Structure 1
Amino acid sequence: MKSLIAFLLGTALFALPTTLMAQEKGGIINVATIGEPPTLDPMSSTADLVGIVTQHIFETLYTFDKRWNVTPLLAESLPDISADGKSYTIKLRSGIKFHDNSDMTSEDVVASLTRWTKIASRGKQAAGFIEAIAAVDPATVKITLRQPYAPLTSLLAFNNSAAIVIPSDKQDEPMKDFIGTGPYMLKERKADQYIQLVRFSGYKSRGGDSDGYGGARHQYLDEIRFVPVPDPNTRVEAAVSGQFDYVDSIPVESFDKLKASTASQPIILKPFGYPVFVFNTKEGIAKNIEVRKAIRQALSMEDMLAAAFGNTDFYTLDGDIYPEAYSWHTDAGVEGNYNIAKPEEAGEALKKTGYNGEPLRILTSRQYEFHYKMAQVAAEYLKLAGFAVDMQVVDWATLTQRRADPKLWDIYISHSPFLPEPALIGSLSTSSPGWWDTPARKAAVDAFTSEVDSAKRIELWANVQKAIYDEAPFMKIGDFNAVSAESNKLEGVDPAPWPYFWNASIKK
C-alpha cells in the first residue's frame, strides 16, 4: 500500500479543477496544434497529436482519473477478473449511441478489440496474451488470456494506439467512417487548415464529477476546431495575442513573454516527461548494438537538455526512466551508460564495429522545437566521434509516417509523458518503430507484464530498465516540463499531458 500511495502521488499530473463556478454553454474554440495529424484513426498511430484530437470523437472501455487510476468509461465498472488472472468480464454501459445514432453493443466491442489486436502497436503487444475475445450477451464482453497480463486494463484505457470502440460494420482498415461515441463528432476536416468537431446531441455522459479523463464529460462548447500551426514562434505570438483559445507545445524560452501577456496565460506540467532518441534496431547501421552504444557514449545529455530548454527550471539531468517521486523509480543499468559525453572514445569504439562512413540518418521535426535543438547538439558530438550525420528535418506527420519504414531512418527523436504503467512505453512493443525484439527484452518484459503482484512488479521493472541500458533500443535524454497556453476567456481546462476540451467553456 505504501508503494501504491507513492506511485499515485508521483503520477498526479492533473491540477485541481480550474473553476467551481457555473459554466456557460455555447461558443466555438480554436486550438493551435503542432501540426496536421497523420490520421484520425487512433488505433493506427502512437502520435500524441492523434490522441489529443481523436479522444473527443472516440472512447475506450476505460480511461484514467486525475491520479492515474484506471476508471470506467464505456464499461459500466472495472472488469471482474478471475482468481487465476486469465479471465476479464466487462459489463458495458447501457444507452450508449454512436454518432450515426446506432446503439453500442458487445458485438461492436468485440469487433473493435479484435481490430485493435491486429493493427494497433499496443493491441499487438497484448495480442500474444489473448486467447479469445467474445460477447457473453449484448451488454457483456469476456476477454480470456493465455496467462496473466497485468497491463491489460491500462492498455485498454490508453488514448495512444487506442482500443477505441467503433461500430461493428465500420471496421475498415484504413478507417473510412470516423464514427465514435464521444462528446464531439467530426464535421469537417480540411487538410492543413482545420479539423472541425461539433457537439454530439446523443452523447451520454457518465454521472458524478469530472475526474481527470474520467467521470462526467460536459459538452459546454458548440464546436472545437483544431488548427495546425507548425512553426513554434508563430504559436508563441498567437498565444501572446490571444489569437487562439488554447496553444499546445510552447517553447519554454517564451514562458516569461507569455506570462506578461494580457490575453493568455501559460500552463506548465511539471514534470511532464522525457525526450527520447529511438534507434532502428531492425535495419541500417543502428541495427548493430555496438554502434548504438558508441552513439550513446558520444553524447552529452546535459548539453542537449540545456540547448532544448534553456535552464534547469524546465529540465533535470536524469537517466532513470522514472523520476524519484514515482514508485517505478530505479537506477538499474544507468551508471556508466548515461551522459558520457566522450566522442573521442566513442570514435575508437566505432572503428571496431566496422563502420565505414555510412550516413547516420537522424529524423526530427521543428514543430517540436526542442527535438530539433537536441538533434543539432547531438549531430556535432556525433561528427566528433566520426559519424557522417544526415539530419532529416521534416514535418511531424511525415516523421510519424517515415518511422514506420525501417529502410528510411536510423534514429528518430520523440518524447513521452511519464506513463502510469511502464508497459505503455511504446518501445517495449516489438511492433513499435524501433522494433526491439531480443531474448533479453522478451525475458525481462514478459516476466514484468505477467506478474500481478504490485510490489514484485516494481522489482521486475528494474530488470526491464537494465535491459534497456544493456541493449540501447532507445536513449532517454532527461526530464522536462511542458508549457502550453490558454486564453483568459477559456475556463474548465485542467492541465493534462493530452489536453481535452469536453469540460471547457468560454467566459461570457
Structure 2
Amino acid sequence: MKRPLRSAAFALLLAGTSTVAFAQGGGVLTVATIGEPPTLDEMQTPTDIVLTIGNHIFETLYTFDKEWQPQPLLAAAMPELSEDGLTYRIPLREGVTFHDGSGFDSTDVVASLKRWMAINSKGKQVAGVVESVEPDGEHAVTIKLKSRYSPLIATLSQASIILPSEKLADTLTEFVGTGPYQLKERRPDQYTQLVRFENYKSPEGEPSNYAGRREAIASEIRFVPVPDANTRVEGLISGQYDYADSLPVSAFERVEASDTAAPVIFQNAGWTSLNMNMKEGVLTKKGLRQAVQVAVNPTDMMLAAFSDEKFFGIDGAFFPEGFVWHTEAGVTRYGEGDPEAAAKLMSEAGYDGTPIRILTSRQYEFHYKTGEVAKAYLEAAGFKVDLQVVDWATLTTRRADPKQWDIFITHSNFPGDPTTLNTITDTYPGWYVSDQKAKAVAAYMNATTQDEKFKAWEGIQTVIYDDAPLVKVGNFNALGGLAKGVKGYEPAYWPRFWNVTPRS
C-alpha cells in the first residue's frame, strides 16, 4: 500500500541527517541547450536534451558511475540474483519521497517499469524476456525472466524513470520525480525552470559520474533553448549563460581567450552515425546500405564537423581504444570513400534513382556538417540525395515514421554494456531486425563470464557490419563552455548540475 503524504518536517526526521542532501547554497544556474525538448517524458523520447533536463527531475533504480558501470540510485543495493540467473530481487531505498510529497515504494517501481516496457524502445526489448515484475513487500521488487538477460541492470540505468503510480498514464500530464530538482514551470521555446526539492534524499557515496552524492546547491536551474550554436557562444561570453552545451569547435579559442568563460572538453563523448531505415524505402536492400558505407569518407565528414583532430578520432570499432569493449572484429567497408566500389554495389542491388532522404539538424552543428559531406560523397557514387535540415524536435518526431526518411544523423555515447547500443534495439528508429543479429545477441545474453561476453560482442559487431544498419562515422570529444566563478562542474555526457555552485 502506498504511504500517505507526509509533511516536510516528518520527512526530514524519517530520512535522517546522514543521507539527506541539505543544500546551504543558492543562486540560479542558467544553461543554454541545443533546443526545446519535445517532451520531458524520458520513457517516450530518451534523446540527449530530454535526458539532460530529466536527470535532474527523475531517478532510476540504477545509474552509471565514471566507469559507466551500474550503481544503485533508487535501489538500495545491487540485485540479489538467483543461481539460474533468471530472478532478480532489487531492494529499494527507504525514506525517499516524490516531489508531490507521496512516498516512494515498490508499487511505484512496478507500475513505472511496466509502463517503460510498454512504450520505451529498450523497455520493449526487455519486455520480451520478462515473465513478471512484482512487489516483494514495500521495499523490494522481484523481476523474473524467461531467459537470461545479462544487460538488464545496465538497461535499467537509463530512461526507466520511477514515477508515482497514481500519476502514470500513456501521456504524462504531470512530471513528478524523486530527483534533487523539481519542475516549476515550462514555457516552450523560452525555458524549463527547475527548483530545488527541499526534501530530497540523496544516495550515499562520493560523486562518480551520475552515481553517489547529489546535492542541490543552486536554488534554481533554468534550461534555455538556444538552437543557434553561435548564439550560445555569444551568450556564454557575454555572461548571459552559466553553461552552454554543444558548442562548435571553432569557438574553442574564442571562449578560452575570454575573461568570462572557459571551454569544457569531454573526452570520448560519443560517436556519430548515419542511421539507415531498414523498414521502408530504398535502403531496405542490404546491398544499397553497404554501398552507402563504401561511398562515404569518415575522415572528411569528421574533419568538416570538428575542424581539428584534437576533437575527433577515426575508428570503425564501436568502442574506442582503451575501453574494455574495444575490438576491430568484423570492421569492414570503413575507409576513405570509394565511389567506384559503391557504384558497383548499387548496380548489383538494382538502385533505381530514388532519392535518399537524409534528416539532419543545425542544432547539433556537427550533425549538419556531417550531412553536407555525406551528401557530396553519396552523389559522387551515383545516389540522388535529398538533404532535409530540420530542428531536432522535428527530426525525432519524423524518424519515428518509417515513411518519412531513409537516413538520419545522430550521435550516441559509449554505454557500459554494448548490447544497450541503440542500434541493437529492434524498435529503435531504423528498425534493425535480422536473424543473424538475433542469434549473435542471444549468445551475449547467455554469456556468464567476461571472456564469453567479449567473444559474443565481437560476433555482434561483425554482424552489424554485415547487415549495415548504419555507418559508424567516428569518435568525438564534446565542447561546452562554463562561466568563470561556477564551481564543482564536472564534464559529463548529459551535463548535470547537482553538486554545482553558481557564481556569487
TM-score normalised to structure 1 length: 0.93
* 2:9 counterpart residue number: none
Q: Secondary structure at the match of 1:31?
A: strand
Describe the SS at the equivalent of 1:455.
Answer: helix
Q: Which secondary structure does the structure 1 equivalent of 2:156 belong to?
A: helix
SS in 1 for 2:141: strand
For residue 311 of structure 2, what is the amino acid of its counterpart? Answer: F
Aligned to 1:102: 102
Could you list the per-position Cα deviations for residues 392-432 of structure 1 after superposition, in whole angstroms to 9, with x for gaps in the alignment? 00000111111100000000000112111111111101010
Partner of 1:338: 334
Match of 2:199 in 1: 202
Residue aligning to 1:361: 357
Taking the aligned partners of 1:423 and 1:261, their CA distance within structure 2 comes to 42
- Work out the CA distance in 1 between the residues paired with 2:48 and 2:419: 17
CA contact (8 A) 1:364 1:399 kept: yes
1:276 equivalenced with 2:273 (yes/no): yes
- Alignment map for 1:66-145 (pairs within 5 Å): 66-145=66-145
Q: Please, which of 326, 330, 336 is the counterpart of residue 329 of structure 1?
A: 326
- Alignment match of 2:162 (pick from 165, 171, 174): 165
1:298-345: CA deviation from partner (whole Å, max 9, x where unpaired): 11111111111112111111111111211211111214x102411133
- Supply the distance in 1 between the matched residues of 2:348 and 2:419 (Cα, whole angstroms): 35
Q: Is the 8 Å Cα contact of residues 27 and 503 (structure 2) preserved in structure 1?
A: no
Match of residue 33 from structure 2: 33
Question: Counterpart in 2 of 1:9?
Answer: none
Change (3 A) 1:174 1:23: closer
In the TM superposition, 1:256-271 aligns within 5 A as 256-271=253-268
424, 432, 435: which is aligned to 1:436?
A: 432
Change in CA separation of 1:232 and 1:507 when aligned onto 2, cut-off 3 Å: closer
Identity across the alignment (%): 48
CA distance in 2, matches of 1:369, 1:439: 36
**Amino acid paired to 1:139:** H
Q: How does 1:51-62 map to 2 (within 5 A)?
A: 51-62=51-62
Distance (whole Å) between structure 1 residues aligned to residue 209 and residue 46 of structure 2: 21
Q: Which runs of 5+ in 2 are unaligned?
A: 1-21
In the alignment, the residues of structure 1 paired with residue 67 and residue 415 of structure 2 have an alpha-carbon distance, to the nearest angstrom, of 12
1:459 counterpart residue number:
455
State how far apart, in whole Å, the 2-side matches of 1:479 and 1:456 are: 26
Is 1:189 the counterpart of 2:186? The answer is yes
Question: Of the candidates 222, 228, 231, which is equivalent to residue 234 of structure 1?
Answer: 231
Write the distance in 1 (CA, Å) between the matches of 2:98 and 2:52.
20
Q: Is the 8 A contact 1:23 1:505 kept in 2?
A: no
> Is the 1:91–1:141 contact (alpha carbons within 8 Å) kept by the matching residues of 2?
yes
2:261·2:482 contact (CA, 8 Å) conserved in 1?
A: yes
Match in the other structure for 2:19: none
Q: Which one-letter code corresponds to 1:485 in the other structure?
A: G
Amino acid at match of 2:432: W
Aligned counterparts of 1:367 and 1:289: Cα–Cα separation in 2:
31
Q: What is the rounded CA distance, in whole Å, between the counterparts of 1:23 and 1:81 in structure 2? A: 36
Equivalent residue, structure 1, for 2:8: none
How far did 1:289 drift? 0.7
Query: What does the per-residue CA deviation read over 1:357-387, in whole Å, with 9 as the maximum and x for residues that have no partner?
Result: 1110000000111111111111111111111
Unaligned 5+ segments in structure 1 are 1-21
- 1:66 CA displacement: 2.0
Q: How many residues end up aligned between the 2 structures? A: 483
Aligned residue among 406, 412, 422 for 2:408? 412
In the TM superposition, structure 1's runs of 4+ consecutive aligned residues that sit over 4 Å from their partners are: none
SS in 2 for 1:490: coil
Q: Which stretch shows the higher mean deviation, 65-74 or 466-475?
A: 65-74
Q: CA deviation at 1:489?
A: 2.1
In the alignment, the residues of structure 1 paired with residue 31 and residue 98 of structure 2 have an alpha-carbon distance, to the nearest angstrom, of 25
Residue in 2 aligned with 1:65? 65
CA–CA separation in structure 1 for the residues paired with 2:106 and 2:313: 46
Supply the AA of the counterpart residue of 1:111: A
- The amino acid that maps onto 1:55 is N
Distance (Å, rounded) in 2 between the aligned partners of 1:69 and 1:340: 34
CA deviation after TM superposition for structure 1 residue 174, in Å: 1.2
Q: Which residue of 2 aligns with 1:218?
A: 215
Cα offset, 1:46, TM superposition: 2.7
Q: CA deviation at 1:209?
A: 2.6
Bigger shift: 421-430 or 63-72? 63-72
Using structure 2 for the length normalisation, give the TM-score.
0.94
- d(CA) in 2 for partners of 1:50, 1:424: 18
Deviation at 1:75, TM superposition (A): 0.8
2:485 equivalent in structure 1? 489
Map Cα deviations across residues 435-468 of structure 1 (whole Å, 9 max, x no partner): 0011011011121123231111011100000011
Determine if contact 1:187/1:197 at 8 Å carries over to the other structure: yes
Query: What secondary structure sits across from 1:39 in the alignment?
Result: coil
The one of 165, 176, 181 aligned to 1:179: 176
Asked if the contact 1:24–1:506 (Cα under 8 Å) also holds between the matched residues in 2, the reply is: no
Measure, in 2, the Cα distance between the counterparts of 1:216 and 1:38.
29
Give the counterpart letter for 1:344 in structure 2: E
Q: Distance in 2 between matches of 1:292 and 1:340?
A: 17
CA distance in 2, matches of 1:208, 1:226: 28
Q: Residue 288 of structure 2 is aligned with which of 291, 308, 311?
A: 291
Distance 1:103 1:345 in 2: 62
| C-alpha separation in 2, matches of 1:144 and 1:23 | 39
Q: How far did 1:23 drift?
A: 9.0
> Hey, what's the Cα distance between the residues in 1 that align with 2:87 and 2:464?
31
* Partner secondary structure for residue 166 of structure 2: coil
Q: Is the 8 Å Cα contact of residues 23 and 215 (structure 2) preserved in structure 1? A: no
Aligned residues of 2:87 and 2:142 also touching (Cα < 8 A): yes
**Where does residue 399 of structure 1 map in the other structure?**
395
**Separation in 2, partners of 1:271, 1:364:** 22
Summarize the alignment of residues 465-480 of structure 1 with structure 2, pairs less than 5 Å apart. Answer: 465-480=461-476
Q: Is the 8 A contact 1:108 1:167 kept in 2?
A: yes
What is the alpha-carbon distance in structure 1 between the residues aligned to residue 493 and residue 260 of structure 2? 23
How far did 1:148 drift? 1.5
Counterpart Cα distance in 2 of 1:365 and 1:372: 6
